[in-house]
Structure 1
C-alpha cells in the first residue's frame, strides 16, 4: 500500500482547525466553495468542483485530535478503498496538521498529482486560518495546464 503524507504547522488554535475540517463553512474556506453534508460520524460530505467531485463518509471524529474520512460513491478508480485522515497536535503557539491519504494500491502519476493538490489545499487551510484568506477551488493554485 502507498500513501500521501503532509505535515503543516498553523499558528492558530486546534479548535479553529477542527472546525475548518468538520463543518461546511470551515471546509469552504480552504478546499472548494461548494460543499454540503459535513457533520457527525456517518455523514456524507459532498465536495463539488464545477458540479462534479468526490463524496467522503466521515468515519471518525475525535474533537481537536482526529478527523477521518473514507471515499464514498462515485470516485476515480485509484481512490477505491483509500482513506483521508487529519491528525492534530498542538505545539506551543501552533497546531500541526498531519495529513494522510492512505491505502493507495499503486504509486502513479495520478497519485503524484493528488499529493501536490493536497499540498496546495493544506497551504490554503494554513492561509485561511492565519490570514482569513484561503484559496479554495476555483481560486486554488493550478499545478498544470490541462
Structure 2
C-alpha cells in the first residue's frame, strides 16, 4: 500500500523557477548576520531604519539606526532620504510585520529597500551591540 505524500502532492518547480524565486526573495530581504558583517567592515552604505515606536527605539536599538515608524513614512518624512541609497528596515522579531509594512511603504515611495529578517530580537540574540536607555532590560519583542 502506497502512502500519500504531502511533500510530493504539489510538484516541485523547475530549477530555473526555483532560482528566480530565491533570487527575488534575496533582493528584498537581508538578515542580522549580513547587516552586522557589513557594518563591522565599514560596508554600511545603506540607511538603517528602526520602524518600531519612538519609545521602543529609545530603550534599545541598533547603533546607527534612525527611528521612523512605518505609519509615519510619507513623502514629507522621507524627503531627505536618497532614492539611490538602499534602505534596510527592521522591527521587533520574525513575528512582527512592521518591517514588511515599512518596506512596502518605502518602496511605494520609490526607495530601494530590504527588510532585515529577525529584527531587533535576533540582533540581540546574536550578541550584537545595541544602544539606548534600557539596553539590558528592554523587551526582546513588542
TM-score using structure 1 length: 0.28
Q: Which has the higher helix share?
A: 2
TM-score (normalised: structure 2): 0.29
